[in-house]
Structure 1
Amino acid sequence: MRDRFDGRARPTFRAAIAMAACSVMLSGCGLLFQNHEKRAEATLTPTPGNTARGTIVLIERADGVQVSYNLTDMPPNSEHALQVHERGDCIGVSGQDAGPVFALQSDRKRPYARLEGELGNIRADAAGAATGFIVATDVSLDGVRSVISRAIMLHREATDPYAMYPHNVGPALACGVIRR
């Protein structure tokens, strides 16, 4: 049904409402199909007797989890290991209650294997600060390799990639639990 005015057809009120409803529904599809990134964060607080602190942001990308860090109050010009541990418990002295470095059971049994939770080393500048990112290809933010609800620790020493057991990096300077 169209009303005639000046010889031209005009849409009726119902047609205008239907077009507006379609427009709203189609704009909602953009929200449904847009890329929702998986994201998690951890706030690192100093372990007893230490001062290091900072924030860690984890974002899952196609090539792995991007681990961005902004850390302060570390010893100047020093290098430290950043590791994810099995349990999300930072209450114990030096983070001992967090358990061993995160790894799947099958990977833990391989001799000289690099464990998933070994993210890499971080270098502090002359002011004791470090900012940057690491791409961790062996972990994720869901599934069996998920690091959600696990502890992330900044350790006193750096990981030696050539050591027989590179997992021993001394006590933790700071610890935080990874949360969505």
Structure 2
Amino acid sequence: MRIALMATATTLFLSACGSSPPPAPATPAVPTTSSAQQAVANLASASGSLVSGKLTLVPMTDGVHVTGTIGGLAPNSSHGFHVHEKGDCSAADATSAGGHFNPFANPHGKAEAGKHHAGDIDNITANSDGVAQVNAHLSGVTLGGGAANDIAGKAFIVHAAPDDYTSQPSGNAGARLACGVITVTR
């Protein structure tokens, strides 16, 4: 009987050894890019205007959300508002910021309405006191990490006229009234 028990135990042991090993623990995914938690853009006047303001940027799963206040605008006026390709506001007329941020070579257009520059944003409108409240969502861009669509280190520009959303390459929005570099704060 003892031999029979030993033979059964040996058979069970050997059959267990022949089974598949347990799966290895999953390797955690390593992010390919990092992302900032927040950024700001302090807009300073350009082209002799009195326009200035402050914007706060927060990354979202589908883009970047921008909030803030811009003052010094003409009362009840609309203005083109874009992310430009260079974080350089050193020129008196802010032309040092270059053209609209357009990493994928799309035509200029209205945000959320077909193909458009990554830096295209809907016009902002000043109230009767010449102040515009910004609450915009930029889809298809990131904040930090260095991807092609990363807007960290680029510049926001407020233009003198509203963007017509059709004229190429920049919507015929006129002079640059304010410029602010997008700076990651945390």
Which TM-score bucket, shorter chain as reference?
A: 0.7 to 0.9
Percentage identity across paired residues of the two chains: 30
Aligned length: 142
Displacement of 1:37? 6.5
In structure 2, the partner of 1:125 is 127
Displacement of 1:111? 8.1
In structure 2, the partner of 1:155 is 159
5+ residue gaps, structure 1, are 1-35
Dislocated runs of 4+, deviation >4 Å: 110-113
Normalized against structure 1, the TM-score is what?
Answer: 0.73
Displacement of 1:134? 0.4
Displacement of 1:93? 2.4
Gap change, CA 1:149 and 1:166, over 3 Å in 2: same
Gap change, CA 1:37 and 1:177, over 3 Å in 2: closer
Normalized against structure 2, the TM-score is what?
Answer: 0.70
Bigger proportion of residues as helix: 1
Pick the aligned partner of 1:145 from 134, 143, 149: 149
Q: How far does the alpha carbon of each residue in 1:29-81 deviate from its partner, in whole angstroms, 9 at most, with x for none? A: xxxxxxx9721101001113100110011101123210112111111110011
Q: What is the CA RMSD across the aligned residues, in angstroms?
A: 1.9
Contact 2:62 2:140 in 1 (8 A): no
Contact 1:47 1:95 in 2 (8 A): yes
Gap change, CA 1:37 and 1:101, over 3 Å in 2: closer
Secondary structure class of the residue paired with 1:179: strand
Does 1:82 pair with 2:81? yes
Contact 2:85 2:155 in 1 (8 A): yes
Does 1:170 pair with 2:174? yes
Displacement of 1:160? 1.4
Secondary structure class of the residue paired with 1:107: coil
Secondary structure class of the residue paired with 2:94: helix
Q: How far does the alpha carbon of each residue in 1:130-164 deviate from its partner, in whole angstroms, 9 at most, with x for none? A: 11310110211032211111111111111112x24
Contact 1:65 1:137 in 2 (8 A): yes
5+ residue gaps, structure 2, are 1-34, 110-114
